[in-house]
Amino acid sequence: MPETRRGLLIILSSPSGAGKSTLAKRLMAWDSSLSFSVSATTRSPRDGEVDGADYIFVSDADFKHAVAEGEMLEHAHVFGNFYGSPKAPVSEAIRQGRDVLFDIDWQGAQQIRNSELGLHTLSIFLLPPSIPELRRRLETRAKDTPETIAKRMQKSWDEISHWDGYDFVLVNDDLDETEDRLKSIITAQRLRRSQQPGLTEHVRKLQQEFEETT
């Protein structure tokens, strides 16, 4: 049999409130081999957040240095703070055949697709069923101030306008159904030819066997 597959960079993007964080957690529960890409950020920790688990909290200077040294797979400036994905742990996971899950915006998704690891990227965008429903979800979370909700709503259309830059687009009108669709997509994409480095050698072996028996 061909050797183990390469890992996937699985990108989930959506406007705030469309369900990507919830679905990311469900995918992690579904497959324990999935690892979550912990982003580096220059914002301050919120109550209950753990450095190295929720985010890697760094200074502006350290973040800019990492970008300048090419140590970030992607990065963006959002609501006055920098966010980015360290490259080294992701590259190692892909090489070892482990999938890495990203919860990032369209800017980060575009950077990853254009990177050296772009061949192994699976990008999925989640659309809300409606704008009023998106606002309702943000308001019922009770985590943000009205001012922050207004900013997120303003940013939501910018996010939605980039829907056509993704491999798959799902309308998240039912969490269970969307979860099932995500699982089906990931299962199929793991079998892409680009994810199976041993196929070429396996075909050569078949060719040799064919020549020896004809």
CA-CA-CA-CA torsion for 193, 197, 200, 202, nearest 10 degrees? -110
Residues 6+ apart with CB under 8 A from 10: 27, 34, 99, 100, 101, 102, 122, 124, 186
d(CA 82, CA 194): 32
Domains located in the chain, CATH noted: 9-37+97-213 (3.40.50.300)
Residue 127 CB contacts under 8 Å (≥ 6 apart), including other chains: 14, 18, 160, 163, 169, 170, 171, 172
pLDDT at 142 > cutoff 80: no
Mapped onto helix, strand or coil, the DSSP state of residue 121 is: strand
103 C-beta neighbours (distance < 10 Å), count: 18
pLDDT tens, residue by residue, 19-59: 888 999 999 999 998 999 999 999 999 989 999 988 999 99
Burial of 86 per CB tally in 10 Å (0-12, 13-18, 19+)? middle
CB 41 within 8 A of CB 83: yes
Give the C-alpha separation, 31 to 34, whole Å.
Answer: 6
- Check pLDDT > 60 for residue 3: no
53-94: pLDDT as tens digits: 889 999 999 999 999 999 999 998 888 999 999 999 999 999
pTM of the complete model: 0.83
How much is the pLDDT for 112?
Answer: 94
